[in-house]
Structure 1
Amino acid sequence: MSLTSHQRLAYQSDGAVIRRGFVSAHLVARAVELIDEWYRRSMNPAELVSYTQRTFAPELGSHPDLLALFTDSGAAELAGNLLGAYAPVRTVQVQIRVPEAQLAQPQPIKDMHVDGVACPHLDPTELRTFSLLVGVLLSEVSDPAQGALRYVPGGHLTMADWFSREWRQGVTQQTPPHVAANEGVPLLGAPGDLLLMHHLVPHAVGPNHGTSPRIMAYFRVSHVDHAGRRLDALRDPWLDYPALIPPARRARQDRP
């Protein structure tokens, strides 16, 4: 299983590709059943901030029925198609945007950011970066106001330039002002839709004004060499993507 040449070009330019209906219905149903049971029986409203910053359903982080969304759906093969060799994926992040009408206090929003860089709940000198974000929609999202993920197409190139020229480790600013002000493109779709997004693409999420929880499962995939070159990967969007190095740059590298 692989991306088409058109999808690879789209990933190079936009930093994101969406495959509609990619994850089979039976894999989605098993995952939704698990998360729905946790949501109804085990979610602690007092932990809403912690869940939002890290993961909902932390007890299910390594459950095989959730990991199967990546390992058994074909998503793992697509990740390899983009990155080549990558480190084992052993955990899932579950992100739920709870309907505002069901909350005693608002759920924290997430401004435009790049994961693992200058997170408000982390030491600003700490980097928890990776290479590729794989997301699986587990609920219908037909309106941006339903807590849709919003991302900036092409933002991976903008952010790499900013990390190279202006940003320094320890800075608490998450994105340059013109990116922070960008509303982004909402990810709308149906259960089973798959998102492949470059780690450097800035994204945000706001309140869910709908009537049902918005549920997504995320997998953070790292090139096998990423951990030893996190700073370099922030400044070079293709360092972890050897198969996607632009032809002009590859030609320069191949010159004797």
Structure 2
Amino acid sequence: MYGGPMRLTAEERATFKRDGVLIRRGLAAPDQVRRAVSLIDVSYRKEMTPDDIPAYSRRTFAPELGDSAELLALYTETGAAELVGDLLGAAAPVTTAQIQIRVPESEFPGMQPVKAMHVDGVSCPHLDPRELRTFSLLVGVILSDVSDPRCGALHYLPGGHLAMARWFAEEWSLGMTEQVPPEIDRERGTPFLGLPGDVLLMHHLVPHTVAQNFMPFPRVMAYFRVSHPHHAGRRLQALRDPWLDYPPPADIPAPTFQE
């Protein structure tokens, strides 16, 4: 493995329980990144049209590559799958990669506005509000230089998984169109910055947004949505109990977010 030990340290476990986020730098090897980027670049340059950008932004860029071995290797052959197993205890097989590109505003002005704070698969604007497409854990692999927030970085809210679980349990109901409570909607989040090969593991309930890309090159990420084997049968419960899909954590109080 390229990126160091494939087991979580006690400090990493505590960080994940508190923040809902774990970052491993350089987990994917340079040759793994190059192979994936080469395929994506061909699709981006030759197959994509400007008209594709809105739909691709909601779902995936390079949809024809979703099950390619080179992209799935970013999860299965980097050690990411082992870290996921360490967090979840058990995970359903991952068979699809999602490619998310933030295109340069200079090249495609206004095509990708800033995304609102949200939790994936809940009250999505393009889905029926009663439909849930939730999972347990998001794995993100950086495939381009995202060392500057102006690159269109993902912004996440540390500790937000605990606040969201409380909101889902006490205030939210299936069919509501609000994706997050007002106090979280006002948050800007922490940008996930890094270099190609860096990997993010993020609890599904961590609210996040995505900025516009004001750099002259595309920002490219590969994402993998991972579910505990029992998640599909308890989606509503998992929204209200952040540790239902995870081994029992320490008792950590939910944070309070203020304007």
Common fold by TM > 0.5: yes
CA RMSD across the alignment: 1.1
Contact 2:189 2:208 in 1 (8 A): yes
Deviations 1:34-91 (A, max 9, x none): 1011111111210111000000000000000000000000000011001111111000
Shift in Å, 1:145: 1.7
Q: Determine if the alignment matches structure 1 residue 234 to structure 2 residue 239.
A: yes
Counterpart residue number, 2:216: 211
Counterpart residue number, 2:89: 84
- CA change 1:104–1:182 in 2 (3 A) is closer
**Which 5+ residue runs of structure 2 have no aligned equivalent?**
1-5, 253-259
Q: Determine if the alignment matches structure 1 residue 177 to structure 2 residue 189.
A: no
Q: Determine if the alignment matches structure 1 residue 165 to structure 2 residue 184.
A: no
Structure 2: distance between partners of 1:214 and 1:100? 11
Which of 214, 227, 246 is the aligned partner of 2:249? 246
Contact 1:136 1:195 in 2 (8 A): yes
Divergent runs of 4+, >3 A: none
**Which 5+ residue runs of structure 1 have no aligned equivalent?**
250-256
Contact 1:52 1:108 in 2 (8 A): no
SS at match of 2:116: strand
Deviations 1:6-61 (A, max 9, x none): 00100000000111111111111100111011111111210111000000000000
Structure 1: distance between partners of 2:250 and 2:161? 18
Deviations 1:104-152 (A, max 9, x none): 5431331100000000000000000000000000000122121000000
Structure 1: distance between partners of 2:136 and 2:42? 31
Residue type of the alignment partner of 2:25? R
Residue type of the alignment partner of 1:45? P
Structure 2: distance between partners of 1:199 and 1:241? 12
Counterpart residue number, 1:252: none
Counterpart residue number, 1:118: 123
Which of 20, 42, 48 is the aligned partner of 1:43? 48
Which of 94, 100, 109 is the aligned partner of 2:99? 94
Structure 2: distance between partners of 1:151 and 1:104? 24
- CA change 1:143–1:241 in 2 (3 A) is same
- CA change 1:207–1:247 in 2 (3 A) is closer
**What is the total number of aligned residue pairs between the two structures?**
247
Shift in Å, 1:247: 4.2
Contact 1:28 1:191 in 2 (8 A): yes
**With structure 2 as the length reference, what TM-score do the two structures score?**
0.93
Contact 2:23 2:201 in 1 (8 A): yes
